[in-house]
A and B are shown apart, each in its own frame.
Chain A
Amino acid sequence: MPAEVHVTIRDETDIVTARQRGRELAAIHGFSKTEQTFIATAISEVARNIVAYARRGEIVLATSQDQGRPCIVVVARDEGPGIQDVEVAMRDGYSTSKGLGMGLGGAKRLMDAFDLISAVGKGTTVTMKKCVR
């Protein structure tokens, strides 16, 4: 088992690959089927944002421990246009692409921890974590 799984995100098939890898990793580490689905869905959201807004980027999946509980850490990184106002982007229903605008907020609710760092013109990094209950 490699310590980290890297998935390059360039098109929609990569989104599917990334979330499948995430589900596999979660299954190995004892996450319930519901939790696996939550993790895969959150990965799908951030990976899709990479394709939609940055064209390319990568998803890195890693595992860690939190008080003896296995955790999965998902990092979605791109060097796309970045987000001007992160707070606004996080808002449910906000979208610059006629999307539903539920991706970021939804991913946050699906995971235990969620962090978004972005710089206009430099890119965006989303870090999410979920631990086994």
Chain B
Amino acid sequence: MSVPVLRLGDVLIASIQAALTDRDLLQLRDDLSDQVGRFRARGVIVDVTALDVLDSSAIRTVRDLAHTTRLRGARTVVVGIQPEVAFAMVQLGLTLEGVATALDLDEGLALLRQEDA
């Protein structure tokens, strides 16, 4: 299952809808990296609202995704981490340090706008 990437002005939005295989996530990383360049996106939002589990492997992929798009020149924000998922991540000892986070899509967009200003 691939993840559709939406474009909103100079922001790319990838909403991960269901548990993805590692291969799907790697695909997404390449897609996003590619589109950042193509559309000269200034920001990327990775929306994980629909995920009820983020294990260490998924967290690594999300982290790598954020690092990759940032290296491509786009501010990247992970949004929609659910309360229980956030708690489990902390127990795992994986807290996405160095990656920007926001409550949801609206907040993520607001954060990117704020950075622009």
Contact = CB atoms under 8 A, between A and B. Distances in A.
A23 B88 CA distance: 14
Given A34-B87, A41-B92, A106-B93, A99 B53 contact: no
A106 B57 contact: no
Contacts of B92: 41, 45, 102, 106, 109-110
B88 A38 contact: yes
A109 B90 CA distance: 10
Contacts of B87: 34, 37-38
A130 B52 CA distance: 19
B60 interface: yes
A16 interface: yes
A12 B57 CA distance: 11
Interface residues of A, number: 24
Nearest to B24: A12
B91 A109 contact: yes
Interface residues of B, number: 22
B56 interface: yes
Nearest to A110: B91
A13 interface: yes
A103 B56 contact: yes
Interface in A27-44: 33-34, 36-38, 40-41, 44
Contacts of A23: 52
Interface in B35-58: 52-57
Interface of A: 12-13, 16, 19, 23, 33-34, 36-38, 40-41, 44-45, 48, 92, 99-100, 102-103, 105-106, 109-110
11 contacts: A13-B21, A34-B84, A37-B52, A37-B88, A40-B53, A41-B88, A45-B92, A48-B55, A106-B94, A109-B91, A110-B88
